[in-house]
Amino acid sequence: MKPIRVGLLGLGTVGSGTLEVLRRNREEIARRAGREIVVTQACARDLSKPRRAPLEGVRFMGDAKALVASPDIDIVVEVMGGESPARDLVLEAISHGKHVVTANKALLAKHGNAIFAAAHEKGVMVAFEAAVAGGVPIIKAIREGLSANRIEWLAGIINGTCNYILSEMRERGLAFDAVLAEAQRLGYAEANPSFDVGGIDAAHKLTILSAIAFGIPMQFDKAYVEGIDRLTATDIRYAEGLGYRIKLLGIARRAAGGIELRVHPTLVPAKRLLANVEGVMNAVLVNGDAVGPTLYYGRGAGAEPTASAVVADLVDVTRMATADPEHRVPHLAFQPDRLSSEPILPMGEVETACYLRLRALDRPGVLADVTRICADLSISIGAIFQKEAGEGEDVVDVVILTHRTYERSVNEAIRRIESLATIPAPVVRIRLEDLA
């Protein structure tokens, strides 16, 4: 059988990794796919830049439009990133009848509904394993492995850069900026690293996971997003002292009245497996009604881990290229005409436990005022700690752990606490999930 011909849109970290893995494991991959998978064209912006992977046998060009229109390409691999021109190029590739493999979660979270509709119409495949959790085959696991289940919730560490930063800050006491620079050097971070530390990249991935877990359209604009950029070493240390680790989690959950879709730093009990996922590793915990909790773990970023997922998609597409489109696995796990319109819950309606840290004047009655505010709002306090004042200081840290309560009640409690004359600084709120 003739080799299947691949065109790479982008030859950076993931593109070069893909070329390298396809080269190194060429024979093994052909034995799996049933025919050879060969990169014949690749494009980038700057053709003079030295490339990590050898380019012999590859037509290297600057014209991405020519690549997606080329009659000599069967599968377009989009690893350039960003929304534009990636969106138009992917739609153009589909219109030319090409299958697409992409690692671009921003593209799918924002434009996936249109892209999958176009692909369905044209009878081509769009595969995206690399878009979530790097080399961890979480898309296949949820879409195919768990298809018997009604999925109740999932919670994941799905940004390697943030997890790497949090681990290095906690374990080695390193400064945020220094660790971020190292994550960039290692090829983990997005072209715009504020997407990582601001939680946006995790929200892109969570949007994709929620679609395939619950059979809903991609709704990135309804996700609640909070990153790690305002986390302090003090809270990481206090959390540890209380038996928790802080992780940036993406959480999607079926709740009464709708679906929770949220990314934020989260206190997780240190004894949970998820709390012990360190460095660039990603992990996703998925709870199905039949199977119970299942955990998927591996490298969430980097050239070859991500290439592992891209190449797995290439093998899948190659195997299914000649199959009747009706017999393929639906892109988003559910049949496109059977998507649910269940709403995404506004954050105020979400219930979580919380860690609250207040800076309080060390005076009689201050804690009584704070606990009265909580009681008036039906917020049940699980634990409260006052740190000892430093020499000559009259402001102390007070940490409160609440039981599960509505976010809107905590918002109001924070507003009232901050208006007390004895509380001179904003309250720090970090949500807490038991994940039992």
Name the site residues for ligand NAP (rule: CB under 6 A): 10-15, 43-46, 49, 64, 79-81, 85, 103-105, 130, 134, 187-188, 190-191, 301-302, 306
SS3 state at 181 = helix
Which one among 159, 210, 318, 405 touches ligand HSE, defined by CB under 6 A? Answer: 159
Q: Could you confirm whether 205 is annotated as catalytic?
A: yes
Burial class (CB in 10 A: 0-12, 13-18, 19+), 217: middle
The yes or no reply on residue 300 touching ligand HSE (CB under 6 A) is: yes
DSSP assigned state of 350: -
Contact at 8 Å (CB) between 208 and 109?
A: yes
Which one among 7, 17, 112, 160 touches ligand HSE, defined by CB under 6 A? Answer: 160
Nearer to ligand NAP, 306 or 318 (CB): 306
Nearer to ligand NAP, 193 or 293 (CB): 193
Q: Decide which of ligand HSE, ligand NAP, none touches 13; Cβ closer than 5 to 8 Å per partner kind.
A: ligand NAP
The yes or no reply on residue 301 touching ligand HSE (CB under 6 A) is: yes
Contact at 8 Å (CB) between 313 and 128?
A: yes
Which one among 101, 155, 189, 206 touches ligand HSE, defined by CB under 6 A? Answer: 189
Q: Decide which of ligand NAP, ligand HSE, none touches 80; Cβ closer than 5 to 8 Å per partner kind.
A: ligand NAP
Of the candidates 319, 333, 313, which has an alpha carbon nearest to the alpha carbon of residue 134? 313
CA-angle at 311, arms to 310 and 312, nearest 5°:
90
Q: Among residues 105, 122, 205, 247, which one is catalytic?
A: 205
The yes or no reply on residue 303 touching ligand HSE (CB under 6 A) is: no
Nearer to ligand HSE, 12 or 134 (CB): 134
Burial class (CB in 10 A: 0-12, 13-18, 19+), 338: exposed
The β-bridge partners of 284 are 156, 296
Q: Decide which of ligand HSE, ligand NAP, none touches 159; Cβ closer than 5 to 8 Å per partner kind.
A: ligand HSE
Nearest-angstrom CA–CA distance, 355 and 401: 5
Contact at 8 Å (CB) between 128 and 101?
A: yes
Q: Decide which of ligand HSE, ligand NAP, none touches 167; Cβ closer than 5 to 8 Å per partner kind.
A: none
Q: Which residues are tagged catalytic? A: 205
